[in-house]
């Protein structure tokens, strides 16, 4: 029989119900937050003279013993205890006797679970930010070394305009910076203590919620208890933040998969972070980025799942809410391992500058520069310049040349007023450097972006 069954329920609960109802198999993950919360709670109860010092000290010592038992692997998690909260309380009663029964004064499992889960999520926000900063350092290092590495910038996966590899990497740094900011915003917004709300309506005991919140490191105390015990927005936020992060990771993974194919050959994953085929000995497979791309799906699933659980619930606590934890645990673990392995895989991957450079010769990447030249220097309206450039590109194709390889004489056959300077303008490096607008790909602009991220990382590390 479940040890929570008491009061109105007289008979033993069915074993099947115990199994169905229990969350201990997964919410044991919250043991340290539960113990920390209970220690703060009894300190507050004692300060408010609701329990005496002797009981407080016995409870705290007992809780610390339990923490050690769990960390030493000696603790017995039993589904009969239903959840981590009852499990620890029952074990405390075994250890210290009747004083343990005072611990749950002026609280309920509803505010207790809201506290434990919120503390867990807040901490994970910090940990994920730290991991992302390590990834950002690796990306910045790659960017710093590749300001002069030209590659084709693409739209529709077609060669479009020349860019440098640093600039491409800095696009991902921009995404991960936004991710970091999202985790930090959530951390700030949700740094509010739920404890002391009790079941739903507050408590008649003379508690001090501010004091208890301070002990637990919260910035403030929640406003309305009915909302507080029902609120899982903090859990949704981390699920959403991880979903967006994984979407970014997945896009980078997709590019790494493409880049490491024979068709591109822009990067090569290190042996340490590649896998081989069981049958084709010549193969080196990008399993790491493929798995990262694949794992993004389950993380989206976890977000949709919790949104769906919550959408129809009347206030306040409903047992449906026990379904909030597994998805969050899974998404957090997925995000952590994903960032770690992406950091290592990217750090150890080799960048094939020559292959990138060679690819810039395909697709007439400086054709826009020719159209701009005709517009700015030969008096064409842009649409007419665009049309004539199309004809010149057709000529280059017929002659197996890239537009950047045409001679002055060849171009003059189409427009005699074109001058000598066009030859330089069409060089790919010059084409890239011409894009010097703020946030553009020119060497100067890329350097400014690198400086910006360097400064930002230094400040974030403080
Ligand atoms: N195991 C429960 C959960 O995870 C704890 C809260 C239980 N509260 C209750 N009134 N049954 O949601």
pLDDT digits (tens, 9 = 90+) for 24-67: 999 999 999 999 999 999 999 999 999 999 999 999 999 999 99
Q: Is the pLDDT of residue 344 over 90?
A: yes
Closest CA to 426 of 411, 447, 446, 415: 411
Ligand 1 neighbour 317 (Cβ under 6 A): yes
Categorize the per-residue pLDDT at 1 as very low, low, confident or very high, splitting at 50, 70 and 90.
very low
d(CA 108, CA 204): 13
The answer to whether 156 is a known catalytic residue is yes
The SS3 of residue 152 is strand
Give the distance (Å) from ligand 1 centre to CA of residue 413. Answer: 81
Q: Is the peptide bond before 316 cis (omega within 30 degrees of 0)?
A: yes
The answer to whether the CB of 107 is under 6 A from ligand 1 is: no
pLDDT at 71 over 60: yes
CA–centroid distance, 60 to ligand 1, in Å, is 23
Local confidence band at 462 (pLDDT 50, 70, 90 cut-offs): low
What is the predicted pLDDT for the residue at 228?
Answer: 98
Take atom 7 of ligand 1 and give the residue whose Cα is closest. 109
Dihedrals phi, psi of 153, to nearest 5 degrees: -80, 145
Collapsing DSSP to helix, strand or coil, 66 comes out as helix
> Which residue among 261, 270, 277, 350 is the active-site one?
277
Residues 367-395: tens digit of each pLDDT: 999 999 999 999 999 999 999 999 999 99
Task: Report CA(358)–ligand 1 centroid distance (Å).
Answer: 61
Q: Residue 268: beta bridge partners?
A: 350
Does the beta carbon of 89 sit less than 6 angstroms from any atom of ligand 1?
no
CA-to-CA distance for 8 and 2, rounded, in angstroms?
13
Query: Does the CB atom of residue 198 touch ligand 1 within 6 A?
Result: no
- How far is residue 216's CA from residue 232's CA, in Å, rounded to a whole number? 19
pLDDT digits (tens, 9 = 90+) for 84-104: 999 999 999 999 999 999 999
For residue 384, the model assigns a pLDDT of: 97
Q: Is 150 helix (H, G, I), strand (E, B) or coil?
A: strand
CA distance 201 to 317: 11
pLDDT of residue 461: 73
User: Residue with the nearest Cα to atom 1 of ligand 1?
Assistant: 83
Give the tens place of pLDDT for each residue, 265-307: 999 999 999 888 777 777 789 999 999 999 999 999 999 999 9
Please compute the mean of the pLDDT values over residues 400-417 and round it to a whole number: 96
Ligand 1: atom nearest CA of 317 is: 10
What's the rounded Cα separation, in Å, for the pair 119 and 215? Answer: 12
| Residues in Cβ contact with 22 at an 8 Å cutoff, skipping those fewer than 6 apart | 79, 81, 82, 83
Cα–Cα distance, 299 to 207 (Å, whole number): 39
How far is residue 130's CA from residue 335's CA, in Å, rounded to a whole number? Answer: 12
Residue 110 near ligand 1, beta carbon < 6 Å = yes
Q: How far from 260 is each of 52, 180, 274, 283, 284, CA to CA, in Å?
A: 67, 28, 11, 12, 9
Q: Decide: 445 and 388 in contact? Cβ < 8 Å.
A: no
């Amino acid at each position: 029989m479940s040890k929570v069954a008491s009061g109105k329920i007289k008979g033993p609960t069915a074993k099947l119900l115990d199994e169905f109802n229990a969350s201990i198999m997964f919410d044991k993950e919250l043991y340290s937050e539960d113990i920390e919360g209970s220690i703060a709670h009894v300190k507050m109860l004692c300060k408010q003279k609701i329990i005496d010092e002797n009981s407080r000290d016995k409870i705290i010592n007992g809780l610390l013993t339990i923490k050690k038992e769990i960390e030493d692997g000696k603790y017995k998690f039993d589904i009969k205890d239903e959840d981590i909260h009852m499990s620890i309380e029952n074990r405390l009663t075994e250890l210290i006797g009747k004083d343990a029964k005072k611990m749950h004064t002026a609280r309920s499992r509803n505010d207790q679970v809201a506290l434990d889960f919120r503390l867990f999520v807040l901490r994970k926000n910090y940990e994920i930010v730290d991991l992302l900063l390590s990834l950002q350092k690796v990306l910045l290092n790659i960017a710093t070394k590749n300001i002069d590495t030209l590659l084709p910038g693409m739209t529709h996966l077609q060669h479009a305009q020349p860019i440098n590899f640093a600039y491409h990497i800095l696009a991902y740094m921009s995404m991960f910076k936004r991710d970091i900011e999202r985790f930090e915003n959530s951390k700030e917004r949700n740094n509010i203590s739920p404890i002391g709300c009790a079941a739903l309506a507050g408590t008649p005991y003379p508690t001090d919620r501010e004091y208890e919140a301070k002990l637990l490191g919260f910035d403030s105390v929640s406003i309305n208890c009915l909302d507080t015990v029902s609120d899982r927005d903090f859990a949704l936020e981390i699920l959403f933040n991880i979903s967006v992060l994984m979407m970014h990771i997945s896009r980078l993974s997709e590019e790494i998969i493409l880049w490491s194919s024979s068709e591109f050959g822009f990067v090569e994953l290190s042996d340490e972070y590649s896998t081989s085929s069981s049958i084709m000995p010549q193969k080196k497979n990008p399993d790491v980025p493929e798995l990262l791309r694949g794992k993004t799906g389950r993380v989206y699933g976890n977000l949709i799942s919790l949104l769906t659980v919550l959408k129809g619930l009347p206030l306040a606590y409903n047992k449906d809410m026990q379904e909030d934890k597994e998805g969050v645990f899974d998404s957090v673990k997925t995000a952590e391992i994903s960032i770690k392995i992406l950091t290592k895989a990217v750090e150890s991957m080799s960048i094939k500058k020559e292959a990138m450079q060679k690819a810039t010769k395909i697709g007439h990447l400086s054709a826009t520069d020719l159209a701009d030249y005709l517009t700015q220097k030969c008096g064409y309206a842009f649409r007419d310049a665009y049309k004539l450039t199309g004809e010149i590109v057709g000529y280059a194709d017929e002659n197996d040349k890239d537009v950047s390889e045409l001679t002055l004489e060849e171009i003059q056959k189409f427009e005699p007023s074109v001058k000598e300077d066009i030859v330089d303008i069409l060089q790919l490096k010059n084409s890239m450097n011409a894009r010097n607008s703020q946030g553009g790909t020119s060497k100067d602009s890329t350097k400014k972006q690198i400086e910006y991220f360097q400064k930002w990382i230094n400040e974030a590390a403080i």
